[in-house]
Amino acid sequence: MIFKETNLKGLFIIEPKVFSDGRGYFFESFNKAVFEKHIKNIDFVQDNESKSGYGVLRGLHFQRPPHAQSKLIRCIEGEVMDVAVDIRKSSETYGRHFSVLLTGDNKKQLFVPKGFAHGFIVISNEATIAYKVDDFYAPDYDSGIIWNDPKLNINWGIPESDIIISQKDKNLGDFSSLISEFE
């Protein structure tokens, strides 16, 4: 696996070594020993999977401390634009975002540490993503930022008229009203 830190400290793109032949392919999507050489003190406790159609946008979500989550995200089939926003108050990149195309073909993964809001949008007909988290879902600590916040100015890669979001995500606050609990 190749670990590439992005311009947002602690946020990594991970590219696995894929072995392909006439039968198909094989790769390690996670290897704790290799992972810990690059990213320390992560103990994933749950695997999640999501399938969505074109235009579905899920995010920008995070859990507040003490139930903050780090995530390791990959796209199993289809294509998603995956986005992480730095919400660590003392970070030099506070309020900046990073986006990456995750696809079933490129097999890239994105490691999102605690202190980031996260979301994705499906840009293929449908997509299945899988992600690991290092803390369980805690509804009382669930939070987020509205997907179309003008301060963040995220380009989601498809026309706004095609975007489908949940009522919950429509009601998220904007970035300027965020009171971050992350240092």
User: Active-site residues: which are they?
Assistant: 61, 131
Q: Give pLDDT, residue 114.
A: 97
Residue 5 lies in a domain: no
pLDDT digits (tens, 9 = 90+) for 22-80: 999 999 999 999 999 999 989 999 999 999 999 999 999 999 999 999 999 999 999 99
**Which CATH number belongs to the domain containing residue 140 in this structure?**
2.60.120.10
Residue 136 belongs to what domain range?
43-177
pLDDT digits (tens, 9 = 90+) for 92-108: 999 999 999 999 999 99
Q: Where are the beta strands (DSSP E) in the chain?
A: 2-5, 12-15, 19-21, 24-26, 46-53, 57-63, 71-77, 79-86, 97-103, 109-112, 116-122, 126-133, 142-144
Q: Give pLDDT, residue 79.
A: 98
Give yes or no for a contact between 99 and 81, defined as CB atoms under 8 angstroms apart.
Answer: yes
HSE, side-chain direction, 13 A CA sphere, residue 55:
8
Average predicted confidence (pLDDT) for the chain: 96
Q: How sure is the predictor about 8, in pLDDT bands with cuts at 50, 70 and 90?
A: very high
Strands, sheet with 57-63, edge to edge from the N-terminal-most edge strand: 97-103, 79-86, 116-122, 57-63, 142-144
Residue 53 lies in a domain: yes
How many domains does the chain divide into?
Answer: 1
pTM (predicted TM-score): 0.94
